[in-house]
Structure 1
Amino acid sequence: MYEIFQYLNSLPIVQHVLTLAVAYVLAFPIGWEREIEERSAGMRTFPLVALASCGFIQGTEGVMGEHPEATARIIEGLITGVGFIGGGAILQMKDSVRGTATAASIWATGAIGVAVGLESYDVAFIISLVTFLTLRLMLPLKKETKEK
Structure 2
Amino acid sequence: MPPVRRVGRFGVVAGLNAVVDLGVFAALVALRPSPGPQELAVLSAVAVVAALVHSYVWNSRWTFGDRRARSSLRARRAQRVRFAVQGAVNVALGAGVVWAAATVLDATTLPAGATDLLAKLVSMAVASTASYLLMHHLVFRGHRDPV
| TM superposition score normalised by structure 1 | 0.40
Q: Which has the higher contact order (CA 8 A, sep 6+)?
A: 2
| TM superposition score normalised by structure 2 | 0.40
